[in-house]
Structure 1
Amino acid sequence: MLLMQFNDKNFSLDKKKKQGKNKKIFNRIFSHIALIAAIAAAVLAIFIALFIRDISQSLPTSEEILGHEPSLVTIVYDRNEKVVTRLFQENRNWVKLDAVSPWMVKAILAAEDDKFYDHSGIRPVAILRAGIVDIFHRGARQGGSTITQQLARNLFLTKEKTIVRKAKEAILALRLERIYTKDQLLEMYLNTIYMGHGAYGIDSASKNYFGKSPSQLTITESAILAGLVAAPETYSPYRNSDMSAARREYVLRRMLDLDWISKSDYDTGVREQPQLLKREASKSSLFLKDSPHFVSYILFNKLLPKYGTEQVYRGGLRVYTTIDLDLQKKAEELVSKMKHEGALVALDPNTGEILALVGGRDFDASKFNRATQAFRQPGSAFKPVVYATALENGYRAVDHLLDAPLLFPNGWEPGNYGGKYDGEVTLMDALARSINTVAVRLAQIDGVSRVVDMARRIGITTPHLPEDLSLALGTASVTPLEMSVAYSTFANNGYKVEPYGIKEVKGKNGESFEQNGPKITNAISVTTAVTTRSMLEQVALWGTGAKAKVEGYQTFGKTGTTNDWTDAWFAGGIPGLVVVVYVGNDDHTPLGGKTTGTVAAVPVWKEFVSFAVKKLKLPQTFILPPDAGVESVNVCKKTGFLASSGCPAANILLPAGHAPISYCPWHGGSLSAARADENAPQLVLAPIDDEMTHYKYAMRGLSQEPSASDQDVQGQTADTPVATKKTKDTEHAKAPVKNSDPYKKDPSEAEQMEARYQELLKKYKIIE
């Protein structure tokens, strides 16, 4: 028994000793673990601190956050402030929070962050929950981002799903909350979120989906848009109506559960069928859809060189242009219906404002802008330059030249359309009927250098003006735009305008960056301008352009057709408007079927101008300035004397004091009075006209009925009251090289434009 007691006591002592020893071991282990844990925690804390420091250093500072500006849309307006197009990388237009429907504000908060006005930018519990899920999935999988965090990501971060990005997001969210108020943050968020189909921000989204401003959104529309934020493509009402409806109901249920709407509001939101706009592609592109030739003209020639890609595509500029969108659309409609390629330019001749500019049938098919880049032969549309030179040099519309065959020493033999020659004709008759031989003779009389000088002064800037007599027949290579400037000089009483397409450019805050107005130069005398225009009115009254006459309006203009019917033109105008229409193939092949300017260009010109006069408030007649120095005279088209009762009459402007005072002796007037008339028309012989040509083709004597087209009857010039003036050859009045090809001087080929266009896009970093 004693032994047992002793053994039990010893066992107890051993047990206590053993327990004490175990406790010491445990305490020692625990101490080591605690030390290791403390060291690990310290290391982790240091690591986290260093991690946060490194991340923070790579993030925007408070100053940089305040200076950040989101990408904004540049809007191009027409002259009446209608939107022409939008230029953007992100289709965004900024709106104030108070301009957003209260339904939309509630919907976005319910869908994305109902505690937005309560937290400080992050929600630790949500972040912890998301972090645990991410750790178990070895990567970022869970959301949990507040509206402020989403804003931080939208403004400064990528959308990659990593823990590092989420840490940056949280840090930036805290910084944003210190800098901005909650309302400011919500406004920024609503203006930066992507809502699908190219719409950035609530303004673009509400207009793209429903065609209304954000302030007009209904509860149904608000729920649809708010539901898009989580996954714009998945919940798109265009792509997946069922998913969109389910997401809309979820948002409405959240609003109801939060007691932000009534059950009646909820039922309305679920039941109501949204009226979606017909979807149109909206993407980051050079243009959206409207006026591409005009927009490309101002973009590459004005906006991008001056402001750069960043400002134009992200800076929210407001560009106020000169075009009238209704006229532009009409011009595009007409050109698109042409059988061949072509262009139309409409100009205000008094200011130089471009009212419409179309450079081809389909911009997507061809970027070649034929209005500004196609250097083409104008043919007879260039003849007014030759006639204006003659009028400036003292000749009159009633003076005569010979319409007779021409043969130059080098073999050049310019002829008339149809191969007919009418002998002695008045200048106004020759221009109205577009007689080639008279234009060549007139250029030889003027001197080619003077014709070139006239062309330069009135606005033709092309480097491709041949300095030989072929220039009289329009062998220069010119663009429709510069032809519109030249004809504007005649319309504007001798004052040349500089064409321009931008009236003003404003910044996103309304500050004016540039303003443009008319730039006008006195190019030729008012007398030369109005007398030339008066001759061109005859073209539209009874000449080759008679079908262009706009009823009720003084109309002037000139047709143009080149060799082999390759190019067809009509250039002209009415008071306050000049329009040039060009028709031709890019490869210079014939239009076919002897297609003239009268056939191909005049109908387009007439329809456009007839539409324009209904849209624009234009005067019906030209007002002559007090210093015009002209008088209106009713003369015989054939002889230039005052019209008798039997004359084919025309009303023409002549320099004051230089009009004939006797009546046409061929149609009933007095021969003796005509011979005594100091201002009687005179026959001007070109240097190439020899005595035989003069004798054979001059106007017949009064003893016979005039028959200028009869080339076989010998003329009796002694009986005519028309005096004859022989001119001398000039240094530059030379014939062109026979069979020369003017198109070898053409620098702009349509097939090269696509490559050049892509080069411009890369130059301005619009594409990579």
Structure 2
Amino acid sequence: MPDRIKKWVQGSLCAVRNGMRKFAFRLKAVWERLTGSVKRSRRKPEEETDHYPSDIEDNNEPELPADTARVHRVAPEKAGSSDHTKLFNSDEIKKADTKSGLKLNLEDEDEPFVPEPLFVERVALRPFPLAVLFTSVKFLIIIILLIGCAGLGAGLGIARAYVETTPSLDTAKLTKSDRTSFIYDKNGDLITSFANLEYRDWADIEDIPDMLKNAVIAVEDVRFYKHEGLDYKRLFSAVINTLRNSYAHGGSTITQQLIKNKILTSEQTYKRKIQEAYLALELERMTDKDIILEAYLNDVYLGESNYGVKTASQDYFGKALDELTVRECAMLAGLINKPYTYNPRTNMYKRKDMTSTDERTDKVLRDMYEAGFITKEQLNAALAEEVKILEVSAQKQMYDMPYFVEYAIRDVIDHLLLQRGMLDTIANRAQLENELSTGGYRIYTTVDPKIQHIVQETLSAWEQYPALADPAFSLKITTNADGSVQEIVQPQASAVVFDYHTGELRAVVGGRDTPTRKKELNRAYQSDMPIGSSIKPLAVYGPALDLGVSPATIIHNMEGEIEGYGGKGYPSIGSERWIGPVTVRRGVVSSLNVVAARTLFEYVTPEVSKEYLVNLGVDPSRINMDGPGLALGTSGFTPIEAAAAYGAIASGGEYKEPFSFTKVLDAEGNVILDSAKIRKNRQVFKKSTAYLLVDMLMDAVKSGTGTEARIDGMTVAGKTGTNSDYSSVYFAGMTPYYTAALWIGHDDYTPKLKRESTGGRYAAPLWKAFMEKIHEGLANAPIIDESPGNIGLVKRRVCSVSGLLATDACELDSSGHTPVTDWFVEEYAPTASCDMHVVVSVCGESGQQASTNCPEFKIEQKSVVLISSDSPYIEFERSVLKDAISNAVFTDIPIEQYRGGNYDPSGFCTLHGFNWSYASDLFGTAVGLISEAEELIRIVKAYMNSTPGLTWSETSSLNAAINNLEYEIIVGNASSISSAASQLTSAYNAVVAAHQDPYPTETPDVSPLPSPGPTDGFSFG
């Protein structure tokens, strides 16, 4: 508190205390006189002259004779000077005139002595009742005066205490009002204002028209430029009006109102009024009037969350301040007193009665006229003017592109937390959001309005969403915070478009329909559903390529345990087939689960895989460190994370942190955040790896599971994803311009989509629908415009069984495992030739190794695959291998021996084991055929007797064929004998093939594009 004020208060209190003390002494004297407590006794000279007060004794004056009295005389012209006392003896006193009772004045011996009377005649007392009445009245007056004085003293003491506890006066706080922030698109065009519960926009005093200033001054504080903070005349008038039970105006000045709004509260207490008055005086002493008025006009509440005249002008009239008419200025000024009662929008469109607003506005106009602010002509024109009020408040309208705007605000808060070293808590987020909404910030986002609207409109209008397995879950009922009930259609969808060249988000759509209220669920970042097979290029194949795997690396898509996978040892394949050894490219294109799982555990490891995902911007808390989580995609991704991660592939392996804003400016124009300076870019994949991933993902769209995402005339690469048990579907892909990720599923995850709902069938077509529109008019180009040779890639033709350089024997493979040509990183390219394929002579009739007894016209050259005891395939069961590699031969004979024609004798053709050449010479004669037929029967029966483990079906089949041949022998027809012998031979060969290690007959190639199916709760593409 300033010393001047303290001294003034202390002086006032001292004066009050002294006055009360004097008044108390006088009151005591009056009281004693009224009550007769002072007793009068007749004089006894002897006694009187013998008694001296103690104070005289204390003065050490000489004792006087007993018959001596002291008489004081006073000279009028020297009164108050020295003491003049004359002593009289008792005789002289007796001679005195006792009736006149005069006091002797002996001041000057030259002047005659005029004695004063010593006694006064007694006055007759009032009658007792009257005396009691008068005494009671006097007593009552005294009590009232005492209470009044006590109350005054107490009041001054309380006032002093209130003043001493007054908050400090911070003029910077008074003149710094909360300001609404604004959000802009990537072109710099305004999207919306951003406010919490208060809409504010600062206007400098010179930008506020004089007419509006005068209107406010006229109705709120007409002597604003004359008083020093308190308007005593207005205050007295307000008190009188209150006593008369009428209200014309308040007693507070503009300065007091500003103090109340910015420093104190609105509580109706004496403490607040005293502190308000004191601070108003101080503020006026310290601050210029225009500064006070500027702060007031920018802070005053004008209804419907509008604070300040600039915001209210836009909200009610849709006008800038310099466009306001006289009546509009008066209407705004009139709102200050009762903004709810005089609200023009509410009165015009809801209450349908503008009477209160018009009357208040007319009063303000008359006050302006009486104050000399407008002329008579201006008054009349304003009274007759009609004002147009906007029917819908801009503040209550839903802003454009709400999904992107709300994510951008969160993105800014995320980076402010990091910048300021604040913990990520609910309280800190609320604090920063309030700061953003009230600090006058300018947030420049990266949203492309055209792309955002295309994606939102496409998702809203799409009619081919998958049905739910149970239609009862097609609507999700939720209750909002305000108690209203909302129905949300299911399944839902979310999509994100990312410019991987700049690292900027172009569209963020968090639901099928445009939100109707603020802060609805934004699935683009608030929903982290499993990504399904879309994870494979990120968590499996990308890391594997970095570690030396190539698109032509051979992975065993065969039934067998995968070490480390858990459960039964390998993922289910659904409607896939065990198609044997396949290349990594085939695994990507056909989205083969077993290939992904084997690649993860045999080449990458879960630890390395997780590290890659974290570097790609995935939240580590949502990464499942197991086979299903990393190879099949049960880990949760947001669409924003997926789009940015695929962006790292498209941008040559460099991850660019996705930003939704370019910069954030404060109210003074200072740059608070600049994405170019804080973006975290990092090289995750080798450039060669990114090139190979793009190349394989392009094949997935051309001929694999993602064919529905193809866009005519535009390069597209991508990967489908189908989550566990058909809970949701995914597609993430890229073009030369953008990456985009799309999720479709139920918000509650548990309700499933109908069977056969795959990413290729439902997500890819919708992805194509909005991406095709986005790319209209754009030229095609490579996704990674780089020469393979410049990044260390070479092409090699390799065996599709061994993975080594292909030989002529590999080229002759007719079992579906022909050589492939693909890219390799040069340092990892194979240099050795295939050591598994070999060309042998095979009997075309039996499919077995030809013997010397086989007819030459039946012998042909065939490529077979040798499976030795040290082969990587030996871990699989033989039945699995027979299904996977139809021309497999199990032997430890060196391949060189096979190439030299030294075959395994046990593998010779059994059909032509007897002398078929001799039989052919006799062919046509029953005698010759019968002999050979009987020999055949003997061989088959001997085999049946010596071979354990024949099934009932096999035994029955052979017996039936033997019986048939024996019957034909009896008949004796040569042609019938030959036919029956052939049937027995075929049956015999089939049984032998099942129980020995022969060269199996060739089987057709399997389908290159198996359709996905259920996978025991895991995902497939």
Tell me what 2:335 maps to.
228
Correspondence for 2:734: 573
Name 1:93's counterpart in structure 2: 201
Q: 1:59-97, CA deviations, whole angstroms, 9 ceiling, x for partnerless residues?
A: 344456767743333444444443455143532222102
Offset of residue 206 of structure 1: 1.9
Check 1:129–1:608 CA distance in 2 against 1; reply closer, same or farther (3 A cut).
Answer: same
Q: Quick one: which of 752, 760, 763 aligns to 1:590?
A: 752
Q: Which deviates more from structure 2 when the two are superposed, residues 394-403 or residues 684-693?
A: 684-693
Q: TM-score, normalised by structure 1?
A: 0.72
Are the counterparts in 1 of residues 182 and 193 from structure 2 also a CA contact under 8 Å? yes
Structure 2 residue 384 is matched with structure 1 residue 270: yes
Give the Å deviation of 1:558: 0.7
Question: In structure 1, the residue corresponding to 2:743 is in which secondary structure?
Answer: strand
Q: CA deviation at 1:53?
A: 2.9
- What amino acid sits opposite 2:346 in the alignment? R
Superposed, 1:386-405 pairs within 5 Å as 386-398=540-552, 401=555
Match of 2:446 in 1: 323
**2:530 matches 1:371:** no
Structure 2 counterparts to residues 198-277 of structure 1, below 5 A = 198-241=305-348, 242=354, 243-257=356-370, 258=372, 260-261=374-375, 263=377, 266-267=380-381, 270-277=384-391
Deviation at 1:383, TM superposition (A): 2.0
In 2, the alpha carbon distance for the partners of 1:545 and 1:288 equals 30
Name which of 238, 250, 261 aligns with 1:130.
238
Q: Which runs of 5+ in 1 are unaligned?
A: 1-16, 642-649, 661-674, 676-683, 702-711, 720-737, 743-768
How many aligned residue pairs are there? 659
What residue in structure 2 maps to residue 344 of structure 1? Answer: 495
- 2:702 is paired with a residue whose SS is helix
Residue 87 of structure 2: aligned partner = none
Cα distance in 2 between the residues matched to 1:64 and 1:101:
24
The separation in 2 between residues aligned to 1:265 and 1:316, in whole angstroms, is: 39
1:147 is aligned to 2:254: yes
1:533 is aligned to 2:684? no
Secondary structure in 1 matching 2:345: coil
Q: Does the Cα contact within 8 Å between 1:344 and 1:582 map onto a contact in 2?
A: yes
Q: For residues 575 and 599 of structure 2, what CA distance do their matches in structure 1 show?
A: 20
Counterpart mapping for 1:419-568 below 5 A: 419-420=576-577, 426-449=583-606, 450-463=608-621, 464-468=623-627, 471-517=630-676, 518-568=679-729
The partner residue of 2:768 within 598, 606, 614 is 606
Q: CA deviation at 1:436?
A: 3.1
Contact 1:344–1:357 (8 Å) recurs in 2: yes
Cross-structure match for 1:758: none
SS of the aligned residue for 1:95 comes to: coil
User: Displacement, 1:634?
Assistant: 13
How many Å apart are 1:318 and its aligned residue?
A: 2.0
Superposition deviation, residue 186 in structure 1: 1.5
CA distances 1:524-569 after superposition (whole Å, capped 9, x unpaired): 2100111111111222333322332344443221110023211211
2:884 aligned residue:
697
Deviation readout 1:355-414 (Å, 9 max, x if unpaired)? 343444559698655433544322211221323244334443355556555677964564
Q: Name the SS of the counterpart of 1:56 in structure 2.
A: helix
Could you tell me whether the CA contact under 8 Å between 2:403 and 2:510 is conserved in 1?
A: no
Tell me the TM-score normalised to structure 2 length. 0.55
1:106 is aligned to 214
Q: 1:451 to 1:54 in 2, by over 3 A?
A: closer
What corresponds to 1:6 in structure 2?
none
Give the Å deviation of 1:131. Answer: 2.0
For 1:629, the aligned partner's letter is I
Separation (CA, whole Å) in 2 of partners of 1:135 and 1:319: 51
Q: Which residue matches 2:283? A: 176
Relative to structure 1, the CA distance from residue 330 to residue 198 in structure 2 (aligned partners, 3 Å threshold; closer, same or farther) is: farther
Counterpart CA distance in 2 for 1:604 and 1:175 is 67
2:302 aligns with one of 195, 218, 242: 195
Structure 2 residue runs without a partner (length 5+): 1-120, 349-353, 423-427, 466-489, 807-819, 831-861, 863-870, 889-993, 1006-1014
Q: Which has the higher contact order (CA 8 A, sep 6+)?
A: 1
User: 1:75·1:85 contact (CA, 8 Å) conserved in 2?
Assistant: yes
Give 2:202's aligned amino acid. Answer: W
Q: Aligned residue for 2:434?
A: 313
Equivalent residue for 2:535, pick from 382, 398, 401: 382
Query: Residue by residue, what CA displacement relative to the aligned partner does 1:607-644 show, whole Å, maximum 9, x if unpaired?
Result: 443454469x99843343578526698999x9999xxx
- Give me the whole-angstrom Cα distance separating, in 2, the residues matched to 1:270 and 1:634: 91
Contact 1:349 1:576 in 2 (8 A): yes
Preserved contact between residue 123 and residue 146 of structure 1 (Cα < 8 Å): yes
Q: How far apart in 1 are the matches of 2:553 and 2:401?
A: 55
Between structure 1 and structure 2, the one with the greater Rg is 2
Alignment equivalent of 1:121, drawn from 218, 229, 236: 229
The 1:576–1:370 alpha-carbon spacing in structure 2 relative to 1, beyond 3 Å, is same
- Contact 1:379 1:474 (8 Å CA) reproduced: yes
1:574 maps to a residue whose letter is T
Cα distance in 2 for residues equivalent to 1:515 and 1:58: 44
Query: Are the aligned partners of 2:729 and 2:758 in contact in 1 as well (CA < 8 Å)?
Result: yes
Letter in 2 for 1:377: P
Taking the aligned partners of 1:608 and 1:652, their CA distance within structure 2 comes to 33
Q: Give the letter aligned to residue 721 of structure 2.
A: G
Q: Higher mean Cα deviation, 407-416 or 159-168?
A: 407-416
Q: Distance in 1 between matches of 2:708 and 2:1017?
A: 33
Letter of the aligned partner of 2:499 in structure 1? D
Whether the 8 Å CA contact 2:175–2:292 is kept in 1: the answer is: no
Letter in 1 for 2:699: Q
Q: Secondary structure at the match of 2:695?
A: helix
Find the aligned partners of 1:286 and 1:171 in 2 and give their Cα distance: 44
CA distance in 2, matches of 1:70, 1:345: 38
Q: Identify if the C-alpha distance between structure 1 residues 67 and 170 changes in structure 2 by more than 3 Å, giving closer, same or farther.
A: closer
Q: Does the 8 Å contact 1:343/1:370 carry over to 2?
A: yes
Which residue of 279, 298, 301 corresponds with 2:393? 279
* Pairing of 1:294-305 with structure 2 (within 5 A): 294-295=407-408, 297-298=410-411, 301-303=414-416
